[in-house]
Amino acid sequence: MIHIVDNHLAPGSRQLLETMFADRKRLFVDLFGWDVPVVDGLFEVDQFDTSGTVYIICADANGEHDASIRLMPSTRPHMLRDIFAHLCPFGVPVGPTIWESTRLCLPQRHGAVRRRELRNRLISAMVDFALQRGITCLTGVLPDAFRKEVLAMGWAAEPLGPAVRIDGGLVGAFAAHVGQDAPDRLRWSGTYVGTAQAVAA
């Protein structure tokens, strides 16, 4: 089931979010070695996990985290503007209809085939969410190899600058434009798979 968590303080979201932050710690800190904040030795939670953040989460049958992606409006503090602005030589796109997409979490326990299925479900739900909210552009920072994959998914998208080497490899920024044709464009590559009715929290 897909959950749209728009209020991280809602009591019913606690288990889902705690298992998400735990999975983020296992993936980004334990496996990838990122130098990011960890709370209580268990949860990867940074300064952008705030009341203005929206999480799109695939949950398992027990109501726990399977996979997730984080969204935040560009008019608030966000990674591209506050940490990675140097990746955008012509400026960071900012505006009321521009949101940032970060922290795509696809735990290793699922295996490659299942991770791709979950990725496509999350991207599909993200596009549906963007169309419902009037979001016209999604930005983000990605390892360059995955950025190339995202740019080739079929939607109207472009790099925001060259790839830059940081600790851990090359990263780059991107912008993906979300118009009414985005589902059809992404369906060509098999990325957009449609979503069942998402549950808001």
Count Cβ atoms below 10 Å from residue 52 Cβ, excluding itself: 15
Contact 80, 88 (CB under 8 A): yes
Contact 101, 70 (CB under 8 A): yes
Count Cβ atoms below 10 Å from residue 18 Cβ, excluding itself: 14
Number of independent structural domains in the chain:
1
Counting residues of the chain whose pLDDT is more than 90, the rounded percentage is: 83
Instruction: Write the pLDDT tens digit of every residue in 133-159.
Output: 999 999 999 999 999 999 999 999 999
pLDDT of residue 169: 83
Q: Does the pLDDT value for residue 161 go beyond 60?
A: yes
* Angle (CA) 11 54 160, round 5°: 160
Reported as a pLDDT band with limits 50, 70 and 90, residue 167 is confident
Average pLDDT along the chain:
92
| 9-to-12, 51, 103 alpha-carbon distances in Å | 9, 8, 19
Cα separation, 34 vs 193, in Å, equals 31
Does the pTM surpass 0.85? The reply is: yes
CATH number of the domain that 126 lies in?
Answer: 3.40.630.30
Which residues span the domain enclosing 160? 2-200
